């Protein structure tokens, strides 16, 4: 497919049968195929599920063992620059130059990234404002708190107005106010950019993601809108109040996603296709239930 079939501003990433193995007998990512278009894609999965591996492959920081990535229909294998020049990246471990000020750091990175936009100084000033760092722009980064560093990391990813944004756990270290501000910034960005966002905090992704991508053991378990994921869970989440001794038995048979203890009773939130017990009542699902439905092993099967 040629680039001409896409509108000038539109960006599309095609991921085709992508696999990555770091060792002979361990596959970090197994045969993943996806099409990503502008919008916010929330990436979730347990530790080691393959989230960072997928993000690193898309960012052209690592090469796949097999499979391919296409930008607007063009295979990027021989030309990683195709993606790199349109990419903003906040890696999981973000390094800074401690002795530069926030403004100097962004100026330096703009030069490294060869940002050619006319008004780089104005862009930097706007980014410092958007991330609530303008008051500290002339302060050395060595004096910054963890949350301020993370915001600086987000600002540097946005330099040059890239149309593919990758944020690996961006909300780590942000206080609740900053999380809210970051979410509203993302909402604006997601209108015409592909924004890939990984997090362990499902509630952070629930309200802003256009689609949620669930990875487990290197494979895609689900890729759907939050609404469709919730709809799929209807009638599969149960509230059960039993004697504490009976609760133990239920825990060994079903996926239990919450447990509350009272005097001699226990309330369980259970995920199952059919009522797990006679006294189970159906309750409204949330995205955490959906996540556990796809990723948690069923205890009965594990035995």
Ligand X SMILES: Nc1ncnc2c1ncn2[C@@H]1O[C@H](COP(=O)(O)OP(=O)(O)OP(=O)(O)O)[C@@H](O)[C@H]1O
Which residues form the interface with ligand X (CB under 6 A)?
Answer: 22, 28, 45, 47-53
Q: Among residues 49 and 287, whose Cβ is nearest to ligand X?
A: 49
Strands of 26-36's sheet in order across: 26-36, 13-23, 66-71, 74-75
Separation of first and last alpha carbons in the chain:
49
Instruction: Quote the least distance from Cβ 187 to ligand X, whole Å.
Output: 24
Q: Among residues 163 and 219, whose Cβ is nearest to ligand X?
A: 219
Whole-number Cα distances in Å, 222 to 33, 44, 83, 110, 300 = 12, 10, 25, 37, 22
Q: How many CB atoms lie within 10 A of CB 221?
A: 17
Instruction: Quote the least distance from Cβ 208 to ligand X, whole Å.
Output: 19
Q: Among residues 50 and 162, whose Cβ is nearest to ligand X?
A: 50
The number of helices, as runs of H, and strands, as runs of E, in the chain is: 11, 14
**What does the block give as tokens for 169?**
């756990």
Instruction: Quote the least distance from Cβ 275 to ligand X, whole Å.
Output: 33
Interatomic CA distance for residues 260 and 296, integer angstroms: 19
**Ramachandran assignment for 121, one of left (phi > 0), alpha (psi -120 to 50 degrees), beta (any other):** alpha
Instruction: Quote the least distance from Cβ 43 to ligand X, whole Å.
Output: 9
Interatomic CA distance for residues 73 and 3, integer angstroms: 7
Q: Among residues 266 and 295, whose Cβ is nearest to ligand X?
A: 295
Instruction: Quote the least distance from Cβ 78 to ligand X, whole Å.
Output: 23
Instruction: Quote the least distance from Cβ 166 to ligand X, whole Å.
Output: 12
Q: Among residues 22 and 261, whose Cβ is nearest to ligand X?
A: 22
Strands of 211-216's sheet in order across: 87-90, 164-168, 194-198, 39-44, 211-216, 219-224
- Which residue in the block uniquely carries the two structure tokens 């009272």? 262
Q: Among residues 22 and 108, whose Cβ is nearest to ligand X?
A: 22
Q: Among residues 93 and 119, whose Cβ is nearest to ligand X?
A: 93
Q: How many CB atoms lie within 10 A of CB 16?
A: 16
Round the CA-based radius of gyration of the chain to a whole number and report it: 22
**What does the block give as tokens for 295?**
């990723």
Q: Among residues 216 and 280, whose Cβ is nearest to ligand X?
A: 216
Instruction: Quote the least distance from Cβ 169 to ligand X, whole Å.
Output: 7
Instruction: Quote the least distance from Cβ 199 to ligand X, whole Å.
Output: 9
What phi, psi does 92 have (nearest 5°)? Answer: -60, -40
């Amino acid at each position: 497919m040629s680039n001409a079939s896409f509108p000038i501003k539109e960006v599309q990433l095609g991921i085709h049968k992508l696999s990555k193995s770091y060792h002979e007998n361990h596959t970090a990512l197994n045969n993943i195929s996806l099409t990503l278009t502008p919008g916010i894609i929330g990436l979730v999965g347990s530790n080691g599920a393959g989230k960072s591996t997928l993000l690193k492959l898309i960012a052209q920081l690592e090469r796949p063992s097999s499979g391919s990535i296409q930008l607007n229909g063009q295979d990027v294998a021989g030309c990683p620059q195709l993606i790199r020049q349109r990419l903003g990246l906040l890696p999981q471990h973000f390094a800074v130059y401690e002795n530069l000020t926030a403004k100097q750091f962004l100026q330096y990175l703009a030069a490294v990234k060869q940002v050619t936009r006319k008004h780089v100084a104005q862009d930097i000033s706007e980014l410092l404002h958007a991330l609530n760092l303008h008051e500290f722009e002339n302060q050395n980064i060595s004096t910054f708190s963890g949350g301020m560093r993370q915001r600086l990391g987000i600002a540097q990813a946005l330099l040059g107005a890239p149309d593919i944004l990758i944020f690996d756990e961006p909300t780590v270290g942000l206080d609740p106010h900053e999380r809210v501000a970051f979410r509203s910034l993302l909402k604006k960005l997601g209108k015409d950019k592909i924004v890939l966002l990984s997090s362990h905090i499902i509630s952070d992704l629930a309200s802003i993601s256009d689609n949620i991508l669930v990875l487990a053991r290197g494979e895609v378990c689900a890729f759907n809108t939050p609404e469709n994921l919730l709809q799929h869970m209807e009638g599969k989440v149960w509230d059960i109040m039993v004697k504490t001794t009976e609760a133990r038995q239920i825990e060994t048979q079903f996926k239990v996603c919450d447990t509350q203890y009272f005097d001699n009773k226990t309330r369980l939130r259970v995920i199952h296709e059919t009522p797990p017990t006679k006294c189970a009542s159906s309750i409204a699902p949330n995205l955490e239930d959906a996540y556990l439905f796809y990723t948690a092993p069923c205890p009965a099967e594990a035995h």
